[in-house]
Amino acid sequence: MGYFSQRKKQERVNFALNMIIGIIGVLTLLAFFDASGGIFATVNAWRFHYYIILLAAFLYALFSGYFIHAFFALVFLIVNYMVLASSTNVFLSASGSSENSVGTAVVYQKSTRRLDSLLKRSAKAGAEIVGVNSRRQVAYFPEMSEKYRLFHADAGTYGSFIMVASEPQRAGKLRLTPERDASFAAVKGGSRSFTFVNLDFSGLKPGEEKVLFDNLAEFVLSQDDPLIIVGDFGIPAWSDTFKRFLHKTELEVKNRIIPSSGKSLLNIFSVPTVNILAYRNVGVEEIELLKDKKNPYRPFLFKLKL
With vertex at residue 137, the alpha carbon angle to CA 131 and CA 139, rounded to the nearest 5 degrees, is 100
Alpha carbon distance 251, 231 (integer Å): 14
Alpha carbon distance 192, 194 (integer Å): 7
Q: What does the domain layout of the chain look like in residue ranges?
A: 3-85, 103-305
| pLDDT of residue 7 exceeding 90 | no
Looking at residue 265, its pLDDT comes to 64
Looking at residue 26, its pLDDT comes to 94
Alpha carbon distance 17, 14 (integer Å): 5
For range 93-119, the mean pLDDT = 73
Higher-pLDDT residue of 240, 305: 240
Query: Which residues are 132's β-sheet partners?
Result: 109, 161
Looking at residue 100, its pLDDT comes to 54
Give the residue among 192, 23, 197, 181 at the shortest CA–CA distance from 96. Answer: 192
Residue 266's region, left for phi above 0, alpha for psi from -120 to 50, else beta, is beta
Residue 250 sits at φ, ψ, to 5 deg, of 65, 20
Least confident segment among 79-88, 140-149, 215-224, 287-296: 140-149
DSSP notation for 205-226: PTTHHHHHHHHHHHHHHT-SS-
Mean pLDDT of the residues in the chain: 82
Residue 292, SS3 per DSSP: coil
Q: Which CATH number fits domain 103-305: 3.40.50.620, 3.30.460.10, 3.30.300.180, 3.60.10.10?
A: 3.60.10.10
Q: Give the model confidence (pLDDT) of 164-223 as tens digits.
A: 877 777 888 888 888 888 888 888 766 678 888 988 888 887 778 888 999 999 999 988
| pLDDT of residue 117 exceeding 90 | no
Alpha carbon distance 6, 2 (integer Å): 6
Looking at residue 80, its pLDDT comes to 94
Looking at residue 176, its pLDDT comes to 86
Q: Give the model confidence (pLDDT) of 232-279 as tens digits.
A: 888 899 999 999 999 999 999 988 888 876 666 667 778 888 888 988
User: Sorting pLDDT into bands at 50, 70 and 90, what band is 139?
Assistant: very low
Least confident segment among 10-24, 139-153, 167-181: 139-153
Half-sphere exposure in the Cβ direction for 123 (13 Å, CA): 14
Alpha helices in 31-157 (DSSP H): 39-45, 47-64, 67-85, 115-124
